[in-house]
Amino acid sequence: MSDKVKGGAREKVIQAAEELAWEAGPNNMSLDAVAARAGVSKGGLLYHFPSKARLLQALVETFVERFDADLAEREREEAHTANSTARAYLDLFLREHDCNLRPPAGVLAALAENPDLLDPVRRHQRILLDRMKQTASDPTVAVIVFLCLQGLKSMELLATDTVDEAEFEAVTKKLAEMLL
């Protein structure tokens, strides 16, 4: 089997797991259901992910990799100006919101299974916050922006949204102003 075919099956499994985490909930995401959704045998799934924990770990890693790639693209557009990382993060957040992208259910599934599986997210967030502070004209403003966006993302992930669209727009507009 070529690497391209392996990667294709692996990606199908990850995508199927993400979808099932949303549809069935994180605690109801079985390997059998993931294999069926991905169109692979259970043996094929186990070839790539020998356990549910390993599949969840891959979901978390994939989320971090995708986010980091998207953020790096936005940072390049900011061209190393003051607050470039914080502005890139805010812009990426707003793009995801405007496109109505679902939050990463795989991360929630990993949290439900074993909170230690979120260690890559924790490390990535610390690195992101440090980068935001390094490029900030005021490091405290960078922390405020980070915390606000994390709070909004957490409410979305946990389906506990308490701000309406007008409040959301007012807050994100104020965050953008703080980064000028």
Q: Mind listing the pLDDT tens digit for each residue in 102-132? A: 878 888 888 888 999 999 999 999 999 999 9
- 33, 76: one domain: no
User: Could you count the other beta carbons within 10 Å of the beta carbon of residue 54?
Assistant: 13
- Asked whether the predicted pLDDT for residue 174 surpasses 60, the reply is yes
What would the two tokens of residue 62 be? 């994939």
Answer yes or no: do 21 and 110 share one domain: no
Residues 172 and 147 in one domain: yes
Q: Is 113 within 8 Å of 26 (Cβ atoms)?
A: yes
Segment 149-171 mean pLDDT: 93
Task: Write down the pLDDT at residue 77.
Answer: 86
Domain, as residue range, for 3: 1-50
Quick check: 7 pLDDT over 70?
no
Residue 136: pLDDT above 70? yes
How confident is the model at residue 23, as a pLDDT? Answer: 87
**Looking at the structure, do residues 37 and 75 belong to the same domain, yes or no?**
no
Reported pTM:
0.84
**Are 31 and 64 in a shared domain?**
no
Kindly report each contact of residues 92-99 with a partner whose C-beta sits within 8 Å and lies 24 or more positions away, as own/partner: 92/67, 93/149, 93/152, 93/153, 93/172, 94/172, 97/168
Average pLDDT of the segment spanning 20-30 = 83
Q: Which residue has the tokens 């793009």?
A: 95
The Cα 99–Cα 103 span in angstroms is 11
Beta carbons of 89 and 149 less than 8 angstroms apart: yes
Nearest by Cα to 45 from 17, 21, 66, 67: 17
> 99 and 41 in one domain?
no
- pLDDT band at 65, cuts 50/70/90? very high
Q: What CATH number should be reported for the domain holding residue 29?
A: 1.10.10.60
Residues 46 and 63 in one domain: no
